[in-house]
Amino acid sequence: MSDAGLASFTVNDLTLALLLTSLIVFAWLAIKSRDIKSFQFQISLFILIMVVGQVIYVLPENFAQIPDSFEDIGYHIHLVSMVFLSVMLWIRFYYSKKSGKKMIENIDEDF
């Protein structure tokens, strides 16, 4: 086995290990927050969905028996995470406007 093949193998394994570690950390944070309406829970859920998509994208590189069509599923899961983030932010924005909370973006134009 060449040095480039060995380095590539260890980098793919390291990537998968780091992704699984982040999956565990953000799952723990989502469980710890316990309130579905909290921003911590929602952003942790978004990151969980994104990491799952990335893990599915990386799996065919590490295991030869998994079909390459898994890569497409990873892209679809990434799309779901982006839609989830967009909907979450729009709903939070809608409810903040509805409740009359002052937004940070409203800066005086005096200076």
pLDDT digit string, tens, across residues 25-48: 988 888 888 888 888 888 989 999
In a domain, 105, yes or no: no
The SS3 assignment for 79 reads helix
Closest by CA to 55, choosing from 26, 79, 80, 22, is: 22
Closest by CA to 50, choosing from 31, 14, 17, 26, is: 26
Q: Is the pLDDT of residue 84 over 90?
A: yes
Counting Cα atoms < 13 Å in the Cβ hemisphere of 87 gives 9
| Confidence tier at 15 by pLDDT (50, 70, 90) | confident
Domain count for the chain: 1
In a domain, 110, yes or no: no
Task: For residue 17, give its domain range.
Answer: 3-99
In a domain, 109, yes or no: no
In a domain, 111, yes or no: no
Question: Does the CA dihedral 73-27-62-3 come out positive or negative?
Answer: positive
In a domain, 45, yes or no: yes
| Confidence tier at 10 by pLDDT (50, 70, 90) | low
In a domain, 60, yes or no: yes
Burial class of 82 by CB neighbour count within 10 A (0 to 12, 13 to 18, 19+)? middle
In a domain, 104, yes or no: no
* Cα–Cα dist 54/36, whole Å: 24
In a domain, 68, yes or no: yes
| Global confidence as pTM | 0.70
